[in-house]
Amino acid sequence: MNLINFELDTGWEARFNQYLRSNSRALDSLRALVDAGIPESWLLQILHGYGDPDLRQREQSSQRQSALSSLKEVNRVIKSLEKTSDALESFTDNSGVRDWVKDNHLNLRRDLSARLKTYLDAMTEMRDELAKLASGKGEGVSEAWLVALVEAAIDITGQPHWGDLAYMIEATYYAHHLRGEVDRDTVRKRYDRFVKNFPRIYESWSGLDWKTYFGVEVKIESATSTNPQDAMDRFIKRFSPETRKQLTTKPRYGKIHRSMKR
């Protein structure tokens, strides 16, 4: 009898079930997350994508190509901002320009200079983030599945469940014929590194109302409010294996497994 069902990849499903049968702590972790309100089908879908090395590589390559293209445009904007800022500064310092000319709409010019600097700083940060993606050396979007798991766990349960997710990641690695031990610190560091290195990718889909999306609670939206499920649906569609095929807390288990330490 299967403990989980995943029709999109029966081979992965069989090995995932094998891992759960051999590791009761992993099974307890799965049940804890599902019982808390995270749908099993969604959880397995994200885990499958996260552990698939080919899928991660394709996503990383796609992001790199997109970053290279975006980087050219951002650099062009930055150069324009720098030239405009330099022109305004030169105008202010030019002794050949009469004071009554400089003082014309002085506040507007100062406000424009401040706004240009603010936008220039923002675009420079964007360029740095794109450069990491374009280099192909960063984690890129390949860690977005993990971030989704953590964010969902936090919103549904109030805790990141580092230990439970560590067991789930070990299980999906095993199901994909990969080796590697994962503990709670590994999961936390991967999450923190992604959020630090790619804040705008993170912000593009973070803050979603996971409880409403999963049906844990019903939320009545006003007619003018945006629906957070739209962003979540786009995220799921983007990272689902099916789509890709078409293109501090008290320890629950004490010291039984290091990844379960809270």
Task: Give me the count of residues in the chain.
Answer: 262
Task: Flag whether pLDDT at 244 surpasses 50.
Answer: no
Q: Which residues contact 102 (CB under 8 A, 6 or more apart)?
A: 91, 92
Q: What is the pLDDT of residue 228?
A: 47
**pLDDT tens track for 15-65:** 999 999 999 999 999 999 999 999 999 999 999 999 998 888 888 888 888
Q: What is the pLDDT of residue 136?
A: 62
> At how many degrees (to 10) do helices 162-175 and 10-22 cross?
130
**pLDDT tens track for 89-133:** 999 888 898 888 888 888 999 999 999 999 999 999 999 888 887
Q: What is the pLDDT of residue 232?
A: 53
For the entire predicted model, the pTM comes to 0.69
Whole-angstrom distance, CA of residue 178 vs CA of residue 14: 15
Name the average pLDDT for the chain: 81
Q: What is the pLDDT of residue 165?
A: 96
